[in-house]
Amino acid sequence: MIRTTLRWVRNGLLTALTLVLLYQVWIFAHVLWWIDHNPASTAFMAAGLARQQSQNPDAELRHKWVAYEQISNQLKRAVIAAEDAKFLDHEGFDVKGIEAAVKKNLKKGRLVAGGSTISQQLAKNLFLSGERSFLRKGQEAVITLMIESTWSKRRILEVYLNVIEWGNGIYGAEAAARRYYKKSAARLSRDQAARMAAMVPNPRWYENHRNSRSYQRRVSLIKRYMQYSRVPL
- CATH at 61: 1.10.3810.10
pTM score: 0.89
> 183 and 90 share a domain?
yes
Q: Where are the beta strands (DSSP E) in 51-166?
A: 62-63
Q: Is residue 201 part of a domain?
A: yes
> 76 and 189 share a domain?
yes
Sequence-ordered alpha helix ranges (H) in 115-152: 118-127, 134-150
Q: How many CA atoms lie within 13 A of 17 on its CB side?
A: 6
Q: How many domains does the chain have?
A: 2
Q: Is residue 233 part of a domain?
A: no
> 138 and 107 share a domain?
yes
Q: Is residue 125 part of a domain?
A: yes
> 27 and 39 share a domain?
no
What is the residue-level pLDDT of the chain in tens, covering all 233 positions?
677 777 777 777 888 888 989 999 999 999 999 999 999 999 999 999 999 999 999 999 999 999 999 999 999 999 999 999 999 999 999 887 666 654 554 444 443 445 699 999 999 999 997 778 888 899 999 999 999 999 999 999 999 999 999 999 999 999 999 999 999 999 999 999 999 999 999 999 999 999 999 999 999 999 999 999 999 99
Give the span between the Cα atoms of 18 and 12, in whole angstroms: 10
> 44 and 157 share a domain?
yes
What residues form DSSP beta bridges with 170?
62
Range of the domain at 101: 34-228
Give the span between the Cα atoms of 114 and 84, in whole angstroms: 13
